[in-house]
Amino acid sequence: MQLFSHERMWRSHELKSRYDAVIIGAGVHGLATAYYLGKDHGLRDVALLEKSYLGAGNSGRNTAIVRANYRTAEGVAFYDASLKLYEEMSSELGWNVLLNQCGHLTLAHTDSAINGLRVRAETNRFLGVDSRIIGPDEIHKLVPTLDLSRRPRYPILAALYHPPGGIIRHDAVVWGYARACDRMGIEIHPFTEAVGIRMDGQSVSGVVTNRGEISTRVVANCTAGWASKVCQMVRVPLPIVTYPLQACVTEPLKPFLDKVIVSATLHVYVNQTDRGELVIGAEIDPYQSYSMKSTLPTLEQMATYTLELFPQLHGVKVLRQWAGICDMTPDFAPIISGVESLKGFYLDVGWGTYGFKAGPIAGRCLASLIATGETPKLIAPFSLSRFRQDRLVGEKAAAAVSH
Amino acid sequence: MAHPVDPSPPGHPGGASEGVCPITIFFDGKPISAQPGDTVASALYRCGVRIFSRSFKYHRPRGLLCGSGHCPNCLMTVDGIPNVRTCITRVHDGQKVRHQNATPSLENDWLSVSGFFSWLMPVGFYYKTFTHPLVWRGVEPLIRKVAGLGEVSPEPAADAGSESHPEHGSTGAGPAYAHIFWHTEVAVVGGGPAGLLAALQAARSGGRVVLIDDQPELGGHLRFQGKGRHSGEWVMPDGQDLSGLSGPDLARKMAEQVVKEPRIRVLQDSTCFGLYEGRLLGVLQKLAGGQRTANGSPSAGHSQALERLIYLRTQRLVVATGAYEALPLFENNDLPGVMLRSAAQRLAHLHGVQPGKRAVIVSEQADGGPVAADLKVAGVEIEAVIPRRELVSALGRKHIKGIRTTRGDLACDLLVLEGDRVPDAGLIAQAGGSLRWEEGQRAFLPGEMPPFVTVVGEAAGIQPNPEAPLPGPCSKKTFVCVCEDVTVKDLCDAVQEGFDHIQTLKRYSTVTMGPCQGRMCQLSSIAVCARQTGRAMEQTGTTTSRPPTLPISLGSLAGPRHHPVRRTPLHPCHEALGCTWMDMGDWKRPHHYPAPAAEPGASGHGATPAHTSTSHSHHLPTFVEAEYRAVRERVGIIDVSTLGRLDVRGKDAPKLLDKVYTNRLSDMKLGRVRHAALCDEAGILLDDGTVSRLAEDHYFITTSTGNIEFVQQWLEWWMAGAGWCVHVTNVTGGLAAVNVAGPKARETLAGLTGTSLETAAFPYMNCRQADVGGVPCLMLRIGFVGETGWELHFPAEYGEYLWDLVMKEGQPFGIGAFGVETQRLLRLEKKHVIVGVDTDATSNPMDADMAWVAKLDKEDFIGKAAILRFQARLATGQSERLVGFVMEDDSVPLDGSAVVHGGRPAGRVTSCRFSPSIGRGIGLAWIPSALAHAGRHFSIHVNGQLGQARVTFQPFYDPEGKRLRM
Task: From residue A192, give the alpha-carbon distance in Å to each of A11, A324, B220, B507.
Answer: 14, 20, 46, 21
Quote the percentage of chain B above a pLDDT of 70. Answer: 91
Task: From residue A200, give the alpha-carbon distance in Å to each of A210, A215, A231, A346.
Answer: 21, 11, 16, 16
The mean pLDDT of chain B is 89
The answer to whether residue B303 scores a pLDDT higher than 70 is no
Residue B177 forms contact with A (CB below 8 Å): yes
- How distant is the Cα of B584 from the closest Cα of chain A, in angstroms? 8
Residue B496 forms contact with A (CB below 8 Å): yes
Q: How many CB atoms lie within 10 A of CB A372?
A: 11
Residue A316 gets which letter from DSSP?
P
ipTM: 0.95
Mean pLDDT of B302-323: 88
Q: Among B509, B842, B910, which would you mutate to test the A interface (most chain A Cβ atoms within 10 Å of its Cβ)? A: B842
List, for residues A160-202, the tens digit of each pLDDT value. 999 999 999 999 999 999 999 999 999 999 999 999 999 999 9
Query: Which strand (E) or helix (H) includes residue A260?
Result: strand A260-263
Residues ≥6 apart with Cβ < 8 Å to B225: B247, B248, B345, B349, B370, B374
Mean pLDDT of B795-813: 97
- How distant is the Cα of B803 from the closest Cα of chain A, in angstroms? 27
Taking a C-beta distance cutoff of 8 angstroms, is the pair B348, B426 a contact? Answer: no
Residue B417 gets which letter from DSSP?
E
Using DSSP, state whether B390 is helix, strand or coil: helix
Taking a C-beta distance cutoff of 8 angstroms, is the pair B382, B359 a contact? Answer: yes
Decide which of B216 and B413 is more confident: B413
Which of B944, B959, B831, B949 shows the shortest CA–CA distance to B890? B949
Q: How far apart are CA A56 and CA A72, in angstroms?
A: 31
Phi, psi of A349 (to 5 degrees): -140, -175
Taking a C-beta distance cutoff of 8 angstroms, is the pair B894, B614 a contact? Answer: yes
Cβ contact A126–B895 (<8 Å): no
Q: How far apart are CA B84 and CA B72, in angstroms?
A: 9
- How distant is the Cα of A205 from the closest Cα of chain B, in angstroms? 32
Residues ≥6 apart with Cβ < 8 Å to A295: A246, A285, B276, B277
Q: Does the domain at residues A10-62+170-239+331-399 carry the CATH identifier 3.50.50.60?
A: yes
Mean pLDDT of B159-188: 65
Taking a C-beta distance cutoff of 8 angstroms, is the pair B650, B663 a contact? Answer: no
The answer to whether residue B5 scores a pLDDT higher than 50 is no
Q: How far apart are CA B542 and CA B844, in angstroms?
A: 52
Phi, psi of B738 (to 5 degrees): -135, 155
Q: How far apart are CA B310 and CA B205, in angstroms?
A: 25
Nearest-by-CA chain A residue for B311? A296
Option in A73, A149, A313 nearest B157 (CB): A149
> Residue B219's pLDDT is what?
92
> Residue B416's pLDDT is what?
96
Structural domain boundaries of chain B? 16-112+324-417, 177-321, 470-546, 876-966
Task: From residue B70, give the alpha-carbon distance in Å to each of B73, B517, B731.
Answer: 9, 9, 54
B685 CA to centre of own chain:
32
Domain A101-164+241-327 class? alpha beta
Q: How many CB atoms lie within 10 A of CB B129?
A: 17
For chain A positions 177-206, those within 8 Å of chain B (CB to CB) are 190
Task: From residue A71, give the alpha-carbon distance in Å to each of A74, A115, B506, B906.
Answer: 8, 12, 37, 12
Mean pLDDT of B198-211: 94
> Residue A396's pLDDT is what?
61
Residue B501 forms contact with A (CB below 8 Å): yes
Q: How far apart are CA B180 and CA B403, in angstroms?
A: 51
> Residue B3's pLDDT is what?
41
Mean pLDDT of B547-572: 93
Mean pLDDT of B162-191: 70
Nearest-by-CA chain A residue for B144? A274
Which of B73, B512, B558, B83 shows the shortest CA–CA distance to B284? B558
Q: How far apart are CA B817 and CA B795, in angstroms?
A: 20
Range in B141-155, B383-397, B447-461, B886-900 the model is least confident about: B141-155
Cβ contact B136–A96 (<8 Å): yes
The answer to whether residue B162 scores a pLDDT higher than 50 is no
Residues ≥6 apart with Cβ < 8 Å to A141: none
Phi, psi of B155 (to 5 degrees): -85, 115
Q: How many CB atoms lie within 10 A of CB B739?
A: 24
Residues ≥6 apart with Cβ < 8 Å to B117: none
> Residue B6's pLDDT is what?
36
Q: How far apart are CA B415 and CA B49, in angstroms?
A: 17
> Residue A390's pLDDT is what?
72
> Residue B154's pLDDT is what?
87
List, for residues B946-963, the tens digit of each pLDDT value. 999 999 999 999 999 999
> Residue B873's pLDDT is what?
86
Residue A85 forms contact with B (CB below 8 Å): no
Range in B225-229, B241-245, B882-886 the model is least confident about: B225-229
Mean pLDDT of B395-401: 95
List, for residues A327-377, the tens digit of each pLDDT value. 999 888 999 999 999 999 999 999 999 999 999 999 999 999 999 999 999
Task: Classify domain B470-546 by CATH number.
Answer: 1.10.10.1100
Option in B147, B159, B557 nearest A303 (CB): B557
The answer to whether residue B619 scores a pLDDT higher than 80 is no
> Residue B601's pLDDT is what?
42
Cβ contact B515–A252 (<8 Å): yes
The answer to whether residue B152 scores a pLDDT higher than 80 is yes
pLDDT band, residue B165 (cuts 50/70/90) = very low
Taking a C-beta distance cutoff of 8 angstroms, is the pair A70, A120 a contact? Answer: yes
> Residue A403's pLDDT is what?
44
Using DSSP, state whether B110 is helix, strand or coil: helix
Cβ contact B583–A55 (<8 Å): no
pLDDT band, residue B216 (cuts 50/70/90) = confident
Cβ contact B842–A394 (<8 Å): yes
Quote the percentage of chain A above a pLDDT of 90. Answer: 88
Nearest-by-CA chain A residue for B895? A115
Residues ≥6 apart with Cβ < 8 Å to B631: B741, B742, B785, B787, B816, B818, B822, B826
Angle A282-A176-A262 from CA coordinates, rounded to 5°: 20
Which of A330, A328, A318, A314 shows the shortest CA–CA distance to A279? A318
Cβ contact A318–B552 (<8 Å): yes
pLDDT band, residue B202 (cuts 50/70/90) = very high
Mean pLDDT of A46-73: 94
> Residue B662's pLDDT is what?
95
For chain A positions 315-334, those within 8 Å of chain B (CB to CB) are 315-322, 330-332
The answer to whether residue B443 scores a pLDDT higher than 70 is yes
Cβ contact B611–A312 (<8 Å): no
> Residue A361's pLDDT is what?
97
Query: Which strand (E) or helix (H) includes residue B946?
Result: strand B945-952
Rounded (10°) CA dihedral B28, B304, B179, B195: -80
For chain A positions 241-280, those within 8 Å of chain B (CB to CB) are 250-256, 258, 274-276
List, for residues B907-942, the tens digit of each pLDDT value. 999 999 999 999 999 999 999 999 999 999 999 999
Option in B83, B896, B905 nearest A116 (CB): B896
List, for residues A100-136, the tens digit of each pLDDT value. 999 999 999 998 899 999 999 999 999 999 999 999 9
Task: From residue B74, give the alpha-carbon distance in Å to each of B52, B85, B89, B98, B342.
Answer: 5, 6, 10, 11, 14
Q: Among A2, A54, A96, which would you mutate to test the B interface (most chain B Cβ atoms within 10 Å of its Cβ)? A: A96
Mean pLDDT of B721-734: 94
The answer to whether residue B166 scores a pLDDT higher than 60 is no
Using DSSP, state whether B710 is helix, strand or coil: helix
> Residue B208's pLDDT is what?
96
> Residue B4's pLDDT is what?
37
Cβ contact A390–B131 (<8 Å): no
Phi, psi of B761 (to 5 degrees): -90, -25
Task: Classify domain B16-112+324-417 by CATH number.
Answer: 3.10.20.440
Taking a C-beta distance cutoff of 8 angstroms, is the pair A20, A206 a contact? Answer: no
Mean pLDDT of B651-677: 96
Q: Does the domain at residues B876-966 carry the CATH identifier 2.40.30.110?
A: yes
List, for residues A286-340, the tens digit of each pLDDT value. 899 998 889 999 999 999 999 999 999 999 999 999 999 999 998 889 999 999 9
Taking a C-beta distance cutoff of 8 angstroms, is the pair B118, B489 a contact? Answer: no
List, for residues B8-48, the tens digit of each pLDDT value. 344 444 344 444 568 999 999 999 999 988 999 999 999 99
> Residue B175's pLDDT is what?
64
The answer to whether residue A88 scores a pLDDT higher than 90 is yes
Identity of the residue numbered B215 = Q
3-state secondary structure B157-201: HHCCCCCCECCCECCCCCCCEEEEEEEEEEEEECCCHHHHHHHHH
Task: From residue B419, give the alpha-carbon distance in Å to each of B212, B327, B364, B938.
Answer: 25, 6, 11, 77
The answer to whether residue B598 scores a pLDDT higher than 60 is no
Which of A374, A50, A63 shows the shortest CA–CA distance to A181? A50
- How distant is the Cα of A258 from the closest Cα of chain B, in angstroms? 9
CATH fit for domain B177-321, picks 1.10.540.10, 3.50.50.60, 3.30.300.30, 3.30.1280.10: 3.50.50.60
